[in-house]
Structures are given as structure tokens and as C-alpha cells.
């Protein structure tokens, strides 16, 4: 999978620590199993009822990668109330 990973080096009392974070993931398509259709439909309906933009994540997705590195959704948790 292509993306951008940021790295930083921290120094604390002669101790070096390297940390990283994912800045961007470049995925064009993700296979969404039919079993998650109702959940995404309810999120979309809630999005349409909101009067302002989204400031926080609406759902959390667990991605799994197949043998040919194709991403697909294994789990979804709705975060909005």
C-alpha cells in the first residue's frame, strides 16, 4: 500500500527514540462487504441531517489485506451517537 509516513527522533537524557505516524494512505478502492451496508447507510443518513461539516471521525474501520495486498473491510465501529 502506498502512503506517507512521518518519522521523528526524540532525545531524552542520552536516550534516542524514533517514532512514526501515518500522514496519508493512498487507497483508491476498498471492498466493503454487503454486511456493512446498513451501517454505512445509517452514517450517510446522519451526515445528511447535520447542518455543519464533520470535525471528528464518524466511524473506525479495521482494514485487512489479502494475499495480493488488496484492502477490504473486516470491522466497522460507528463513533457518532
Residue boundaries of the structural domains of the chain: 2-78
- pLDDT score of 32: 81
CB distance 18 to 9 below 8 Å: yes
Are the C-beta atoms of residues 73 and 33 closer than 8 Å to each other? yes
pLDDT of residue 55: 64
Show pLDDT as tens, one digit a residue, over the chain (81 residues).
778 888 888 887 888 888 888 888 888 778 788 998 888 888 888 777 766 665 677 788 888 888 887 888 889 988 865
Report d(CA 26, CA 34) in Å as an integer.
Answer: 23
What CA–CA distance (Å, rounded) separates 39 from 60?
Answer: 12
Amino acid at each position: 500500500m502506498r502512503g506517507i509516513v512521518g518519522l521523528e527522533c526524540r532525545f531524552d537524557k542520552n536516550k534516542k527514540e524514533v517514532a512514526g505516524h501515518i500522514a496519508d494512505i493512498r487507497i483508491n478502492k476498498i471492498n466493503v462487504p454487503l454486511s456493512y451496508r446498513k451501517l454505512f447507510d445509517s452514517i450517510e443518513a446522519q451526515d445528511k441531517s447535520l447542518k455543519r461539516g464533520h470535525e471528528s471521525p464518524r466511524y473506525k474501520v479495521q482494514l485487512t489485506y489479502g494475499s495480493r495486498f488488496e484492502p477490504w473491510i473486516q470491522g466497522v465501529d460507528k463513533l457518532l451517537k
